[in-house]
Structure 1
Amino acid sequence: MLEIGVQRKDGVVSSEARNVPIPEPAENEVLIKVVATDSNPKDWKASARPVKINQGDDIAGTVHKVGKNVHDFKPGDRVAAFHRMFAPSGSYAEYAIAPASTTFFLPPNTSFESGATLPLASMTAALALYQHLGLPAPWNPVPKGKRVPLLIYGGSSAVGTFALKFAKLSGLGPIITIAGGGAEFVKSINAADYIVDYRKKNVVADVQKILDDEGVKLHHAFDAVSEHDSWKHVLDLLDKEGSERGKITMVDPPEPMVSEWPQGLEFSRVFVSSAYGEPHQWCNEEQAKVHRDFAYVFYRYMTLLLAEGRFVPHPYEVQPDGLLAVEKGVQALYDRKVSSKKLVYRVADTPGLDKYQ
Structure 2
Amino acid sequence: MPKLWAPQASPSNYGDDLSGYIEAVGEDVLGFNKGDRVAAFHEMGAPHGSYAEYSIAWAHSVFHLPTRITFEEAATIPLAAMTAALGLYQRLGLPLPWSTTTAPLPLVIYGGATTVGSFAIKLAALSNIHPIIAIAGNGTPYVNTLLDKSKGDMVIDYRQGEIHILEKIKEAAGDNPIIYALDTVSEMNTLRTIDRALVPSKGKIANLLPSSPENKLSSELLFTMVGTVHASKPTKPWPVLGDREFGTLFFSFFGRGLQEGWFHGNPYEVRTGGLDALGQVLRDLEAGKNSAKKYLLKIAETKGNM
Q: Decide: shared fold, TM above 0.5.
A: yes
The 5 A counterparts of 1:59-74 are 59-74=18-33
Q: TM-score, normalised by structure 2?
A: 0.93
Question: What corresponds to 2:172 in structure 1?
Answer: 210
1:90 aligned residue (49, 55, 59): 49
Unpaired runs of at least 5, structure 1: 1-40
Question: What corresponds to 1:227 in structure 2?
Answer: 187
Deviation at 1:42, TM superposition (A): 5.1
TM-superposition CA deviations, 1:281-335 (whole Å, max 9, x none)? 5545xx3x30100110101011111111111101000101112212211221112
Structure having greater relative contact order (Cα 8 Å, sep ≥ 6):
1
Letter in 1 for 2:209: D
Deviation at 1:255, TM superposition (A): 2.0
Q: Are residue 239 (structure 1) and residue 193 (structure 2) matched? A: no
Deviation at 1:228, TM superposition (A): 5.8
Distance 1:257 1:271, change over 3 A: farther
The 5 A counterparts of 1:5-84 are 41=1, 43-44=3-4, 47-84=6-43
Equivalent residue pairs, number: 300
Q: Are residue 329 (structure 1) and residue 281 (structure 2) matched? A: yes
Deviation at 1:273, TM superposition (A): 0.7
CA–CA distance in structure 2, aligned partners of residues 72 and 57 of structure 1: 22
Question: What corresponds to 1:198 in structure 2?
Answer: 158
Question: What corresponds to 1:301 in structure 2?
Answer: 253
Unpaired runs of at least 5, structure 2: none
Q: Are residue 318 (structure 1) and residue 270 (structure 2) matched? A: yes
Letter in 2 for 1:197: D
* Alignment RMSD (CA, Å): 1.7
1:351 aligned residue (294, 303, 306): 303
Contact (CA 8 Å) 1:44, 1:331: kept in 2 or not?
Answer: no
Q: Are residue 261 (structure 1) and residue 223 (structure 2) matched? A: no
Partner SS state of residue 130, structure 2: coil
Deviation at 1:349, TM superposition (A): 2.1
Question: What corresponds to 1:277 in structure 2?
Answer: 231
CA–CA distance in structure 1, aligned partners of residues 98 and 80 of structure 2: 20
CA–CA distance in structure 2, aligned partners of residues 57 and 187 of structure 1: 29
CA–CA distance in structure 2, aligned partners of residues 276 and 209 of structure 1: 40
CA–CA distance in structure 2, aligned partners of residues 280 and 319 of structure 1: 38
Q: Are residue 136 (structure 1) and residue 89 (structure 2) matched? A: no
Deviation at 1:344, TM superposition (A): 0.6
Q: TM-score, normalised by structure 1?
A: 0.80
Partner SS state of residue 96, structure 1: coil
Larger radius of gyration: 1
TM-superposition CA deviations, 1:115-159 (whole Å, max 9, x none)? 11111000000000010000111111113xx12111000000000
CA–CA distance in structure 1, aligned partners of residues 73 and 3 of structure 2: 19
TM-superposition CA deviations, 1:201-220 (whole Å, max 9, x none)? 12112212322xx2111111
Regions of 4+ moved over 4 Å: 278-282
Contact (CA 8 Å) 1:269, 1:282: kept in 2 or not?
Answer: no
More strand by share: 1
CA–CA distance in structure 2, aligned partners of residues 280 and 299 of structure 1: 22
Partner SS state of residue 87, structure 1: coil
CA–CA distance in structure 2, aligned partners of residues 42 and 110 of structure 1: 29
Partner SS state of residue 29, structure 2: coil
Deviation at 1:191, TM superposition (A): 5.2
**Aligned-pair identity (%):** 38
